[in-house]
Every structure is written in structure tokens, then in C-alpha cells.
């Protein structure tokens, strides 16, 4: 499902025009991004939580230079599923 | 301590910034993620534009350890939703650290691999490793020397010594030979043994002088600072003697060439000449052996490798590429005014000129890095020659 399909489906659910929905969708993504960059993240009920954390610098082998490199620290986004989401995809097999 | 935003806050902020009801905002957010869930169920993967992609992954069964009881447990195979942020999100989030770059970690000398002797210089990394390896025998030779310097030696000489040491360290060898790395440890051991012998001999000599001789002129010469009108003879007085000697001895296993020059003063006592067993100083030519480079030749002839530009300068007719020296050719070895451990101003001036020529030669061969490097050395030597 690509973006236009998503927007179309959303506009039907929310009873809005597609243009309005697309605007809202875009700014929602922007806002979620800013929550991750300016704060520590957010969580969506029954889906999971998105957190941003600082990964410390670490050493790693660079196969091109054939030498150890020190990779700098970086702020990365992590996602962890909620238990509801876990159950959703594992119920059948358990 | 987490600064995570709550879902209610998120919805509220979104509603306020877009002038819609909170109910509608919540519906929108939930709607987005519900569609995502549908996608995941139907296709096994989903994505939010400009945000990231989700994928359903199967995790195989594995054994783990219960951290509370310490016993092994089996974690059954299961499915997991994985998330991968898109580049736009990654970059925005990482903005505060975007300026940081990964960098090389200094390698252990043992890890660097030598390049074959005839290979042209092209890889900087390999050279760096080589250089480290190359320094080692020198460090072990030179550091004891500095410790063992007689007390009455002028401090300035010591400083000069250290500087020339740094010179050596900063000048990478033109080409590195594999043969040398193998013999390194053995050579170092040999040098240490020789040094101990020399220290013993020097101690014996000073003991003799203190108790037996009352030679006034000798003592005067010792106390004279080296910065006089005649720098060469003074720096070659007895106190400085153990140093050139030890470098000389370091090369004993190599062909009999001398690192000292011959202008030892007439005051030289028989006891001293006995133990130094100096070779003739008028070493003017040198026949190149296989796998030898100017760097090596300079080390054998002068005792210091960093003087090789002098040899290159005198032999421009024989070779114009500093990296390539053909065996069996005869090189002219220029003489130093002072000696390798205590260069005179004239020597430094000569070295500056020679380094400039080496720099040009490297420029002609196309090695611009080297050319710039030796131009820098040249300026440095020029400064030395004026001080």
C-alpha cells in the first residue's frame, strides 16, 4: 500500500478530502520525527513504542582499509513492539 | 530517565497545531497505524513515507539463559515486527552528531604487512605501518644512548639529538624491505648487548681518566660549550664519543663502513682509540647491494637514515628517482663536517639543499605528497642551519 492509497483510505475513515488528509498525514510524519529528534520518542497504543537513543562510539573492522575504525556516536531510532502486537502475529503458532 | 511523549500529549499537540479536534487527531494517528497493521498482516511489510519501514520477520528457535535462575531455556521460534528508519528520519534524528566522522585507529606494528621491495610507493596506509616498524630498532638504540650521555655534555647537544631523532621518526623510509622486518628482533637484541659492552668500556675509561690523568687541556676541552667558532672538533670531544660509537656498532654486521668522520682531535688518548677501533673516515664511495635503498645506505654510512638526501644529491647523475636504486652501481658518499650525531650548521645547510632536491625529484616522479613532505624538512633543516 503506497502513500496515495493510504491517504485515500484515511480520508474515507475521517470524512475529509484527500488534499486535507494528505496535508495532515505529512505534518503528522513531521511531528513524529520531531518527537524523536527533540525528545526521547513516543508510543502508539497497541502497536509499539519508538525511542531515540545515543549509540556510543565503537570500534569496527573496515574491510576496505583492512584496518580497525572508530565509529562515532550516533543518535538512532529504535522500535519495540507492544505486547498486543507481538500476540497478534504469534497467536496462531502458539 | 526518559523524556518520551505520551500518546495523549502527542494527540493533543497535533490537534492544537492543526486546529482539529482531539478526537479527529486520535482517529488519524490510530488510522495510520491500523492501516500499517493491515499491511503487515497481508503483505508482511509496510511503510510510512519519510518515516520508516516495518517488516514481519521470523525468528528461529534458540536457547537462552534465564537471567534470574541461570538455567537454560528454549526461546521458541516466533514472529517479530522489525522497524528500519528511512534516511530522512535517520538524518533528522542524528543531526546533533552529524559532524562526527569515523576515523582510523592506529595499528599495532605487528599487524602491518611489509610491501615488496621494488613496489612503487602508492599506499599511504602501508607506509604508515612500515614506518612504525622501521622506527623500533632505532628507538631501542637511541634511548639508552641519551641516558648514558656523560654529565658534562652540554644540554644543547642533547636537544639537538632529540630533534634529529624526531626528524628520523617523521621521515618515512622511501621503500621498506621485507627482509629487515624478520631480522628486527634479532638485531635489537644484538644492539642491546653491544651497548652494554660499550657502557662498560666507557665506565672503565672514565675511571682511568679520573684516577690517573691530570691532563689539563683535556678537561678544558670537555667543559667548553659546543657553540664556539669550531663546532666540529668540540662536539667530537670525548664526552660525545660513546654516541657515534654505539650507532657505529649497531651496523657492525653490515659492511665495514664508518659513521664517524676522521677529525678526531690529537688529544685522543691511546686507551680510547684502542676501544673504539675506528675505521678509516674517508668513505667516499659505496657500491649498492641488492635490495638496498638510500635510506638503508645512509644508515650504514652515516649511522642515521635521515641523512639520505645528501647521498641522493651527490648522485643525481646515477639516479633521478629517489625510489629506485639499481644494484652494483657506485654511489658517491659526501662527507659531513660534523658527525651524524652532531651536525654542524654547514651540514644542516647542505641537508636543506639536498632535501629540496629530493622534493623536486619526488615532484618529477609524481609523488606530490612526498615532495611536500621533503620541502617541509628542507625548511626545517634551514632553520637549524641558522641557529
A59-83 per-position pLDDT tens digit: 988 888 888 888 899 999 999 999 8
Q: Are residues A89 and A61 in the same domain?
A: yes
Q: Are residues A1 and A35 in the same domain?
A: yes
Residue B165 belongs to a domain: yes
Q: Are residues A24 and A51 in the same domain?
A: no
Q: Are residues A51 and A94 in the same domain?
A: yes
Domain stop point among B52, B80, B97: B97
- pLDDT attached to residue A76: 92
Residue A93: alpha-carbon gap to chain centroid: 27
B297-312 per-position pLDDT tens digit: 777 777 777 777 777 7
Q: Are residues A58 and A92 in the same domain?
A: yes
- All three cell numbers of A37, joined, read 529528534
Question: Considering CB atoms only, which of A40, A67, A85 is closest to B125?
Answer: A67
- All three cell numbers of B179, joined, read 627482509
The number of folded domains in chain B is: 2
B314-341 per-position pLDDT tens digit: 777 667 676 766 667 777 777 777 777 6
Is the predicted pLDDT of residue B249 greater than 80, yes or no? Answer: no
Q: Which chain B residues are within 8 Å of A71, Cβ to Cβ?
A: 102
- Sorted by sequence, the CB contacts under 8 Å of residue B310 that are 6+ apart come out as B298, B302, B334, B336, B350, B351, B354
- All three cell numbers of B318, joined, read 646515477
pTM of the model: 0.41
Q: Are residues B37 and B155 in the same domain?
A: no
Residue B111 belongs to a domain: no
Residue B183 belongs to a domain: yes
Residue B112 belongs to a domain: no
Q: How far is A79 from chain B (nearest CA, A)?
A: 6
Q: Are residues B243 and B138 in the same domain?
A: yes
Q: Are residues B306 and B200 in the same domain?
A: yes
- Region B166-178: mean pLDDT is 45
Residue B110 belongs to a domain: no
Better-predicted residue by pLDDT, B223 or B83: B83
Q: Are residues A61 and A77 in the same domain?
A: yes
Q: Are residues B153 and B43 in the same domain?
A: no
> Within 13 A of B387's CA, how many CA atoms are on the CB side?
11
Q: Are residues A9 and A34 in the same domain?
A: yes
Q: Which chain A residues are within 8 Å of B32, Cβ to Cβ?
A: 6, 10, 25, 28
A53/B contact by beta carbon, under 8 A: no
Q: Are residues A69 and A33 in the same domain?
A: no
Q: Are residues B195 and B77 in the same domain?
A: no
Better-predicted residue by pLDDT, B315 or A84: A84
> What is the CATH classification number for the domain harbouring B76?
4.10.520.10
- All three cell numbers of A21, joined, read 488528509
> In chain A, what percentage of residues exceed pLDDT 90?
19
Mean pLDDT estimate for chain B: 67
Residue B322 belongs to a domain: yes
- The ipTM estimated for the assembled molecules is 0.88
Q: Are residues B93 and B127 in the same domain?
A: no
- pLDDT attached to residue B84: 93
- Sorted by sequence, the CB contacts under 8 Å of residue B228 that are 6+ apart come out as B234
- All three cell numbers of B305, joined, read 637514515
Spell B91-130 as b/e; 16+ CB within 10 A means b: ebbbeeeeeeeeeeeebebeebebbeeeeebeeeebbbbb
Residue B272 belongs to a domain: yes
Q: Are residues A18 and A55 in the same domain?
A: no
Domain stop point among B63, B97, B131: B97
> Within 13 A of B178's CA, how many CA atoms are on the CB side?
7
DSSP lists the bridge partners of residue B287 as B330
Better-predicted residue by pLDDT, B206 or B131: B206
Q: Are residues B53 and B174 in the same domain?
A: no
Q: Which chain A residues are within 8 Å of B78, Cβ to Cβ?
A: 86, 90, 93
Q: Are residues A88 and A60 in the same domain?
A: yes
- pLDDT attached to residue B203: 74
- All three cell numbers of B274, joined, read 684502542
The number of folded domains in chain A is: 2
Better-predicted residue by pLDDT, B100 or B136: B100
Q: What is the residue range of B12's domain?
A: 7-97
Q: Are residues B247 and B160 in the same domain?
A: yes
A25 to B83: CB separation less than 8 angstroms, yes or no: no
Q: Are residues B153 and B244 in the same domain?
A: yes
Confidence of residue B169 (pLDDT cuts 50, 70, 90): very low
A33 to B50: CB separation less than 8 angstroms, yes or no: yes
Q: Which of B26, B47, B81 to mutate to test the interface with A (most CBs of A within 10 A)?
A: B81
A41/B contact by beta carbon, under 8 A: yes
Q: What is the residue range of A70's domain?
A: 47-94
B35-72 per-position pLDDT tens digit: 988 888 888 889 888 899 999 999 999 999 999 998 99
Question: Considering CB atoms only, which of B14, B80, B93 is closest to A81?
Answer: B80
Q: Are residues A70 and A27 in the same domain?
A: no
Q: Are residues A35 and A3 in the same domain?
A: yes
B35 to A10: CB separation less than 8 angstroms, yes or no: yes
Q: Are residues B59 and B133 in the same domain?
A: no
Residue whose C-alpha is closest to residue B37's, from B56, B50, B23, B24: B56
Q: Are residues B368 and B232 in the same domain?
A: yes
Q: Are residues B219 and B335 in the same domain?
A: yes
- pLDDT attached to residue B54: 92
Amino acid at each position: 500500500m503506497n502513500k496515495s492509497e493510504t491517504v485515500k483510505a484515511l480520508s474515507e475513515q475521517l470524512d475529509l478530502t484527500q488534499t486535507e488528509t494528505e496535508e495532515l498525514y505529512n505534518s503528522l510524519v513531521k511531528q513524529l520525527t520531531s518527537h524523536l529528534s527533540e525528545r526521547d520518542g513516543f508510543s502508539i497504543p497497541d502497536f509499539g513504542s519508538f525511542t531515540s537513543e545515543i549509540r556510543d562510539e565503537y570500534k569496527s573492522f573496515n574491510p576496505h582499509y583492512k584496518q580497525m575504525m572508530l565509529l562515532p556516536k550516533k543518535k538512532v531510532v529504535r522500535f519495540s513492539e507492544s505486547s498486543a502486537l507481538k500476540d497478534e502475529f504469534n497467536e496462531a503458532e502458539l | 530517565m526518559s523524556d518520551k511523549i505520551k500518546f495523549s500529549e502527542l494527540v493533543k499537540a497535533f490537534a492544537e497545531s492543526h486546529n482539529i479536534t482531539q478526537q479527529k487527531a486520535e482517529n488519524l494517528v490510530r488510522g495510520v497505524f491500523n492501516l500499517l497493521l493491515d499491511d503487515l498482516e497481508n503483505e508482511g511489510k509496510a511503510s510510512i513515507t519519510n518515516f520508516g519501514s516495518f517488516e514481519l520477520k521470523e525468528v528461529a528457535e534458540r536457547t537462552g539463559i534465564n537471567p534470574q535462575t541461570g538455567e537454560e531455556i528454549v526461546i521458541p521460534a516466533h514472529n517479530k515486527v522489525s522497524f528500519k528508519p528511512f534516511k530522512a528520519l535517520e538524518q533528522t534524528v542524528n543531526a546533533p552528531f552529524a559532524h562526527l566522522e569515523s576515523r582510523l585507529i592506529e595499528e599495532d606494528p605487528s599487524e602491518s604487512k611489509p610491501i615488496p621491495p621494488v613496489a612503487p610507493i602508492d599506499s599511504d596506509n602501508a607506509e604508515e605501518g612500515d614506518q612504525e616498524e622501521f622506527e623500533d630498532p632505532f628507538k631501542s638504540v637511541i634511548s639508552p644512548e641519551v641516558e648514558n650521555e656523560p654529565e658534562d655534555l652540554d644540554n644543547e647537544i642533547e636537544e639537538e639529538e632529540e630533534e634529529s631523532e624526531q626528524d628520523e621518526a617523521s621521515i618515512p623510509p622511501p621503500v621498506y624491505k621485507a627482509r629487515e622486518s624478520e631480522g628486527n628482533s634479532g638485531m635489537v637484541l644484538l644492539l642491546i648487548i653491544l651497548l652494554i659492552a660499550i657502557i662498560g668500556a666507557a665506565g672503565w675509561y672514565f675511571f682511568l681518566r679520573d684516577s690517573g690523568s691530570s691532563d689539563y687541556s683535556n678537561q678544558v676541552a670537555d667543559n667548553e660549550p659546543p657553540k664556539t667558532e669550531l663546532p666540529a672538533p668540540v662536539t667530537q670531544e670525548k664526552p660525545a664519543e660513546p654516541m657515534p660509537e654505539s650507532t657505529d656498532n649497531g651496523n657492525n654486521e653490515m659492511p665495514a663502513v664508518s659513521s664517524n668522520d676522521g677529525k678526531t682531535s690529537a688529544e685522543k688518548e691511546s686507551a680510547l682509540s684502542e676501544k673504539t677501533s675506528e675505521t678509516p673516515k674517508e668513505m667516499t664511495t659505496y657500491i649498492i647491494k641488492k635490495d638496498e635503498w638510500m635510506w638503508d645506505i645512509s644508515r650504514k654510512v652515516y649511522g642515521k637514515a635521515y641523512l639520505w638526501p645528501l647521498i641522493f644529491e651527490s648522485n643525481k647523475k646515477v639516479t633521478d628517482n629517489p625510489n629506485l636504486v639499481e644494484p652494483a652501481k657506485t654511489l658517491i658518499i659526501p662527507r659531513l663536517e660534523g658527525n651524524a650525531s652532531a651536525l654542524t650548521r654547514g651540514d644542516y645547510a647542505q641537508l636543506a639543499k639536498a632535501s629540496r632536491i629530493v622534493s623536486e625529484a619526488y615532484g618529477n616522479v609524481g609523488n606530490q605528497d612526498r615532495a611536500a613532505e621533503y620541502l617541509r624538512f628542507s625548511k626545517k633543516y634551514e632553520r637549524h642551519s641558522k641557529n
